[in-house]
Structure 1
């Protein structure tokens, strides 16, 4: 059974693999947990997806900072693993480039290959993004896109979206300046260009050349929409590895990301016992079996002898970089983020929950209750248990409500709480570290009363569905908590599982009633 509890809500890519570990499907998502969970919650999946889900034995993931980065990473991973359930485009090439030809009046165009007579920029991760950038550059700088200069003005010239060098409307020097500005945008020098254009616009306005100033203002506004930079796609002509780690409890959890020609392509995970000089030992042992790239990005410096050794293995210089800022630092932080989620995601959310509720101990065992019914009929209760941050389905429990008639969620909640903990008390069984009830102050009060009647002192909270508000006993207002904080997200995760389990049981009873 695939464990979905460890999957984060960040954007990134997910990789389904079969029983022998072969990757069978790769996808990307803005919210990894929501997307992967949907495969196991929907009932109207198409035939191919049903076959994929039934063949999947495990799922891995790589977190990115943005959905755009996930798009790019997905393309790289698919080319590497060629999963059988992804679309097989046998003749497909990489994402397209935008090219600028080498001519007296250069044209701007789309190219599937970064080779030929011109300069090429990209690749762009989606056709929509590529086409929007191309449209914006053509309209902003009024560059031609025709394969051959026509002998008369085309439609673009008539509507003002081309400067029409074909009929002599613009000189070669002025046109070349427009091309330089467009290439500055494609190279990423947008901020510099905007500053330059602002100065030029002010000069035109001071000379009361308002038409030229207006055109420059429109260019500036268009360029400002392109200022978002990607740091997973970085224009490099060499390979690099990015390494980061976390030390905890005498153990080192380390991840290594391979970046090929500026594109994040693969991750590797390692866990080993902490010791002095562990990073230097890891570098020498790992790269004894793998060719070192031209650059290795690290969170801390190592002995100069390590760099000399790696250069010897490679046969050319290997640079070890410890960045403090910029794109390389962002990549280093991204790897650490993956380490935190991949190795410590469960403990982080437990510690966040402990801190939120000021609990004396880490809430390793959490039990959550939910009530489900249809207008008071087939009323049932569910209890799910999370142990160590993950669902423990062996300890899930179902309750058919016995003492409540009609619609009374408060009384139903009181019944299931009393039955659960009355039995644990009678058996002398271990109690949970925290109880969660699905509902607001009413359900919480009903559950607290039953615990007091049993003489039990177990931390308990309630979560209201509409605004995800969290209530504690004796306080009328909900806790001042952002619903996107780790503790709140963990509580929502547990509540959602209890809700799913209750609805499933409720549907089973209704189906049995209909059959009978």
Structure 2
């Protein structure tokens, strides 16, 4: 492929590597020229980049007015074409969408994994839960909306901080018909503005906010004017979308490289198609009292704290980490939580052997490893319990160490909380 750098703009937009008329890879960037040049330079040392370059015969670019609009357009084009080298998009289970539930009287804006409701609006797919959730979170700070699936009798938390306004829980209790209609109309207008933003029509919402600022100022409602001014500033900054450039975000790029490295390392022992979800377990105890355990979850190589679980050990007779780990894994797999592609245990051969027993008894086939200390090494969870010690700076090994450290931190935090609470009660009683 002949690449003429001078014809590529240094603006935000979409780039499409093509073979004939078929897209084989679609990406976005805040700087198209720099990003495409990076692809070509990286092809010298990266197998995937080399495959993209060698199998394409042309590059098409589409300029957008903001990186946010580039992200939305990228997701639409990837969903439409499913390019060969956009690998993460080819498994339906990993798709992430922003969903607007239009059928509801008070529509919701949610992050979901599948398109499963006729009549709802879907935007995506997006490359990670972190990106989709951050988009929704940022929009909510500008345009309030509700995420509760059912209306309840209590004002929700987000309404207290201005991110669910008007709150459907409050509106549903209004008996004055005119006021009820007014508040409902405001909420539905908010949803229409969210749809405009997700359709790339941010300029319309900007104009509406400016009009609202002028109106509130004219009425001398200066506090309201300041609220709308702050929302306008946030929306304008959000539309630039600088901080969400997944192609340039070093953390995101690094996580993909570490996952590929780990998958390659473990591929010698397990058949692993992907490592979308990894769970790591650790036990925290002191003389087998107030014992706790943690389950931390990494999605796409990055921690997802919304998926974390903590356990207080119920078996007061347990006198070893193995017994506690056995209890925790039983409780975990008795729940219908999403299954991981890899389980990591903070511990050596005895802990891994315990985890293997639980998996075998429950007829669950998930790759399992342990990470033992002094020095750090991996225990392969099979009958032979092989021990491997990857190079110190091995990217995949570093990912497992990070998982272990985070699991230890989370378990210890809960253990400390329980001990402090217990000692505070004893202190009061004495």
Normalized against structure 1, the TM-score is what?
Answer: 0.36
Q: Which of the pair has the greater relative contact order for Cα pairs under 8 Å at 6+ separation?
A: 2
Structure ranking higher in helix proportion: 2
Normalized against structure 2, the TM-score is what?
Answer: 0.42
Structure whose CA Rg is larger: 1
